[in-house]
Structure 1
Amino acid sequence: MSGFDTDWLSLREPADKAARAPALVELLTRYLQTPGAPTILDIGCGTGSTWRALERHVPEDTNWLLLDHDPLLLEEAERSIGGDRGVAFRQFNLNDLEDLPLEGVSVVTASALFDLVSEDFCAAFCDRIASQGCGFYAALNYDGVIRWSHRHPLDDDMVDAFNRHQQTDKGFGSALGPGAGDCLERLLETAGYRVRRMPSPWRMDGNAAALQQAFLSGFRQPLREMSKHSMAEIEAWLSFRLSAIAAPESLCEVGHTDIIALPA
């Protein structure tokens, strides 16, 4: 998988936390209220944002195992979470799904991950968790919708090019990109799960200027590779979008979807 730096993950974490669908977090909380300490396996954990978002909502005796392939992100997760706190960390390549440590796991969680993987990966993953009877909660899957309150004539073209780039290989085959939510819902229902899906969009105003700037900076390379427009047009569009961040009542909405799937 393409790497993510800690600065980007730190910038996006407040927006991610605010965007999570509360009703699905509540469903997860109720599901974990069972006799005995539950265990959560968080895959693609990054610096531990899922743990920070959920640790106040799950039972105090919950055990966590956080997996990531990037040792630097794991190191930062362990440093930021600190102590034992029922949390263990392990370096793991998610391409090795057969070795995914699911024994005794109540729920597998992930954040901003499944739009980066392929349909084949999702199918194999759903089969694995269904065979073990694990619940599943996946938040912040990009859905392809980006809207700005201050419009530019090229917005739709640029978002379309960006979305096509989101479907290129990120380390797990051709990525689902905006199709992740539909694919997960279909596969999980086929595997016998009760599935709920809700929107979890980022809504960024001028108070999230640094995140908006970093988000737009991430467009440059995808647009160079995918857009039909010249570099001059791309740079002019980016310049407009960056300057619009400070405009009165400026708002950028980036669509995501959250999914919870519980054994029937």
Structure 2
Amino acid sequence: MGFSAEWLALREPADIAARHAGLLARAVAVAGNDPVILDLGCGTGSTLRTLAPHLPGNARWHLVDNDPELLTRAATEAPGRAQTHALDLRDLDALPLDGVTLVTASALLDLMPAPWIAALAERLAGAGLPFYAALSYDGVMEWDPALPGDAAITQAFNSHQRGDKGLGAALGPDAAATAPAILRKAGFTVHDGSSPWRIGPDSAPLHAALVEGIAGAAAEAGAVDAANWGRMRIAAAPATGCLIGHLDLLALPPT
């Protein structure tokens, strides 16, 4: 499981614009006046860059990823205040929770299987830690104008997203409903809100990369017309808008 730095850079502006502002503000408040934040699957540091303007200047970070190059890049965003951890997320016992005030993740839960989320919920509940998880894909794809095949491609893509990303069968689009339910079962109070990408004709590079990725995944899932759909979608991009659904959540631990 991993993503290129180029793709992460392309999607970051859409991620930042999509985040649910109310949940972001509540997560920052929950982190406290002397925040120590553990970011799971940090990539190049998008969560750090997004939260930093809202946090006190003394905020410290524990950055977790399995890609040393991405970790090195992420750490430069908070020089002297970020500690990196090259960890396999299968090993939740290795997470450095001591002193942490908030655990975060972005675009991660839909890549994970339900048992992993349940194990994480148990670990965080035991430590009494809040969890702020943003941008979990919820299975919704809307294109304006619509083209023939949109629904079939969405169905195939969503099926692909439920495949094994390295830790077992991922929840994919089911994460938006399943993850909050798992956290509530573990005793958390969960607040959630919609955080859709809204991509217009002015975001041509992201639009093209998104369509290529969707078409490729749909083809792998058996959509025979995926390549042709992708070509039509890219050709129509200068006059097309799209909405890709996501969910943000803030889970407050049992008291």
State the Cα distance separating 1:235 from its structure 2 match.
2.3
State the Cα distance separating 1:224 from its structure 2 match.
2.1
Q: What are the Cα deviations for residues 94-118 of structure 1, in whole angstroms up to 9, with x where unaligned?
A: 0111221112211110000010000
**Helix, strand or coil for the counterpart of 2:202?**
helix
State the Cα distance separating 1:153 from its structure 2 match.
1.8
Match of 1:252 in 2: 242
State the Cα distance separating 1:228 from its structure 2 match.
4.2
Alignment of 1:74 onto 2:71: yes
State the Cα distance separating 1:59 from its structure 2 match.
2.4
Q: What are the Cα deviations for residues 129-170 of structure 1, in whole angstroms up to 9, with x where unaligned?
A: 000001000000001101100111210000100000000000
Alignment length (residue pairs)? 254
State the Cα distance separating 1:222 from its structure 2 match.
1.7
**Helix, strand or coil for the counterpart of 1:8?**
helix
State the Cα distance separating 1:75 from its structure 2 match.
1.9
Of residues 62, 65, 85, the one that matches 1:90 is: 85
Q: Distance in 1 between matches of 2:148 and 2:61?
A: 47
The answer (yes or no) to whether the contact 2:30–2:102 under 8 Å persists in 1 is no
Of residues 180, 193, 198, the one that matches 1:185 is: 180
Match of 1:21 in 2: 20
Alignment of 1:1-264 (within 5 A): 1=1, 3-34=2-33, 37-79=34-76, 81=77, 83-84=79-80, 86-229=81-224, 233-247=225-239, 250-264=240-254
Q: Distance in 2 between matches of 1:161 and 1:199?
A: 23
Structure 2: 5+ residue stretches without partners: none
Q: Distance in 1 between matches of 2:61 and 2:12?
A: 19
State the Cα distance separating 1:21 from its structure 2 match.
0.2
**Helix, strand or coil for the counterpart of 2:115?**
helix
The answer (yes or no) to whether the contact 2:153–2:215 under 8 Å persists in 1 is no
**Helix, strand or coil for the counterpart of 1:148?**
strand
> What is the TM-score of this pair, normalised by structure 1?
0.93
> What is the TM-score of this pair, normalised by structure 2?
0.96
Partner amino acid for 2:111? L
**Helix, strand or coil for the counterpart of 2:238?**
coil
**Helix, strand or coil for the counterpart of 1:145?**
strand
Structure 1: 5+ residue stretches without partners: none
The answer (yes or no) to whether the contact 1:48–1:77 under 8 Å persists in 2 is yes
State the Cα distance separating 1:33 from its structure 2 match.
3.2
User: What is the percent sequence identity of the aligned residues?
Assistant: 43
The answer (yes or no) to whether the contact 1:158–1:227 under 8 Å persists in 2 is no
Pairwise CA RMSD: 1.3
**Helix, strand or coil for the counterpart of 2:58?**
coil
Q: What are the Cα deviations for residues 76-129 of structure 1, in whole angstroms up to 9, with x where unaligned?
A: 2234x1521x22212111011122111221111000001000001011110000
